[in-house]
Amino acid sequence: MEENDKKVLKALAKQYKNIAAASTEIINLQSILNLPKGTEHFLTDIHGENEQFNHVLKNGSGSIRRKIDEEFGNTISDRDKRSLATLIYYPEEKLDIVLQEEDNLEDWYKISLHRLVQMMKHVSSKYTRSKVRKALPKDFAYVIEELITEKEEVQDKEAYYNEIIHTIIRIGRAPQFIVALSHLIQRLVIDHLHIVGDVFDRGPGPHIIMDTLCNYHSVDMQWGNHDIVWMGAASGHLACIANVLRMAARYGNLATIEDGYGINLLPLATFAMEVYGDTNCDAFNIRFNTDYNTKDLSLDTKMHKAMAILQFKLEGQVIMRHPEFEMDHRKMLDRIDYEKGTVNIDGRDYKMLDMDFPTIDPKKPYELTEEESKVMARLQQAFMHCEKLQRHIRFLYAKGGLYKIYNGNLLYHGCMPLNPDGSFASLKLFGKEYKGKALYDILEYYARRGYYAKDAAERNAGQDIMWYIWTGKGSPVFGKEKMATFENYFVAEKETHREEKNPYYQMLDQEETVNAILEEFGLDTKGAHIVNGHVPVEQIHGESPIKCGGKLLIIDGGFSKAYHKKTGIAGYTLVGNSHGMHLVAHEQFESARAALVNETDIVSDFIEVETYPRRKLVADTDIGREIKENIYYLEELLEAYRNGTIMEEM
Q: Check residue 562 and give its pLDDT.
A: 60
CB-CB contact of 7 with 16 (8 Å): no
Q: CA-to-CA distance for 385 and 619, rounded, in angstroms?
A: 45
Is the whole-model pTM more than 0.85? Answer: yes
At 528, is the pLDDT very low, low, confident or very high (cuts 50, 70, 90)?
A: very high
Higher pLDDT, residue 126 or 381: 381
Question: For residue 47, how many other CB atoms are within 10 A of its CB?
Answer: 27
Q: Check residue 568 and give its pLDDT.
A: 47
The tens digit of pLDDT for each residue in 28-47 reads: 999 999 999 999 999 999 99
Higher pLDDT, residue 102 or 416: 416
Q: How much is the average pLDDT of 235-241?
A: 98
CB-CB contact of 545 with 555 (8 Å): yes
pLDDT at residue 559 greater than cutoff 80:
no
pLDDT at residue 570 greater than cutoff 70:
no
Q: What is residue 425's DSSP assignment?
A: P
Strands 342-345 and 40-43: unpaired
Q: What is the mean pLDDT of the chain?
A: 92
The half-sphere exposure of 638 on its side-chain side, counting CA atoms within 13 A, is 15
Rounded alpha-carbon distances, angstroms, from residue 241 to 237, 270, 393: 6, 18, 14
How far apart, in Å, do the first and last CA atoms of the chain sit? 24
Helices of type H across 104-199: 105-124, 129-135, 141-148, 157-170, 174-189
Dihedral pair phi/psi, residue 428, rounded to 5°: -95, 120
SS3 content of the chain, % helix, strand, coil (to 5): 55, 10, 35
The tens digit of pLDDT for each residue in 472-527 reads: 999 999 999 999 999 999 999 999 999 999 999 999 999 999 999 999 999 999 98
At 155, is the pLDDT very low, low, confident or very high (cuts 50, 70, 90)?
A: low
pLDDT at residue 561 greater than cutoff 80:
no
Q: Check residue 604 and give its pLDDT.
A: 65
Q: Check residue 589 and give its pLDDT.
A: 77
Q: If you average pLDDT over each of 475-489, 533-547, 560-574, 579-593, which comes out highest?
A: 475-489
Q: Check residue 485 and give its pLDDT.
A: 96
pLDDT at residue 5 greater than cutoff 80:
no
CB-CB contact of 41 with 61 (8 Å): yes
Rg (CA), the chain: 28
Q: CA-to-CA distance for 605 and 537, rounded, in angstroms?
A: 15
At 80, is the pLDDT very low, low, confident or very high (cuts 50, 70, 90)?
A: very high
Q: CA-to-CA distance for 608 and 224, rounded, in angstroms?
A: 26
pLDDT at residue 569 greater than cutoff 90:
no
pLDDT at residue 226 greater than cutoff 60:
yes
What angle separates helix 297-321 from helix 456-471, to the nearest 10 degrees? 120
At 594, is the pLDDT very low, low, confident or very high (cuts 50, 70, 90)?
A: confident
Nearest to 402 by CA among 222, 196, 199: 222
Q: Check residue 3 and give its pLDDT.
A: 73
At 567, is the pLDDT very low, low, confident or very high (cuts 50, 70, 90)?
A: very low
The tens digit of pLDDT for each residue in 321-334 reads: 999 999 999 999 99
CB-CB contact of 552 with 416 (8 Å): no
Q: CA-to-CA distance for 91 and 72, rounded, in angstroms?
A: 20
Q: CA-to-CA distance for 263 and 257, rounded, in angstroms?
A: 6
CB-CB contact of 540 with 568 (8 Å): yes
Calculate the CA 126 to chain-centre distance. 26
Q: Which sign, positive or negative, has the C-alpha torsion 224, 38, 545, 602? A: negative
pLDDT at residue 234 greater than cutoff 90:
yes
pLDDT at residue 188 greater than cutoff 80:
yes
Q: CA-to-CA distance for 612 and 512, rounded, in angstroms?
A: 23
**DSSP string for 435-450:** -THHHHHHHHHHHHHH
H or E stretch covering 345: strand 342-345
Q: Check residue 565 and give its pLDDT.
A: 58
Q: Check residue 573 and give its pLDDT.
A: 92
Q: CA-to-CA distance for 109 and 385, rounded, in angstroms?
A: 48
Q: What percent of the chain clears pLDDT 90, i.e. is strictly above it?
A: 80
Q: Check residue 649 and give its pLDDT.
A: 86
Bridge partner residues of 351 (DSSP): 342
Nearest to 469 by CA among 530, 427, 524, 507: 427
Q: How many residues does the chain have?
A: 650
Lowest-confidence region among 90-94, 177-181, 593-597: 593-597
pLDDT at residue 535 greater than cutoff 70:
yes
Domain ranges of the chain: 3-35+620-643, 40-196+533-616, 206-471
Lowest-confidence region among 227-231, 321-325, 583-587: 583-587
Bridge partner residues of 43 (DSSP): 195
Q: How much is the average pLDDT of 101-114?
A: 92
Q: CA-to-CA distance for 131 and 267, rounded, in angstroms?
A: 51
Q: CA-to-CA distance for 154 and 25, rounded, in angstroms?
A: 30
Q: CA-to-CA distance for 117 and 174, rounded, in angstroms?
A: 12
Q: CA-to-CA distance for 189 and 185, rounded, in angstroms?
A: 6
Lowest-confidence region among 98-102, 391-395, 466-470, 542-546: 542-546
CB-CB contact of 232 with 466 (8 Å): yes
**Burial bucket for residue 41 (CB in 10 Å: 0-12, 13-18, 19+):** buried
Dihedral pair phi/psi, residue 581, rounded to 5°: -130, 140
Dihedral pair phi/psi, residue 102, rounded to 5°: -80, 130
Higher pLDDT, residue 3 or 258: 258
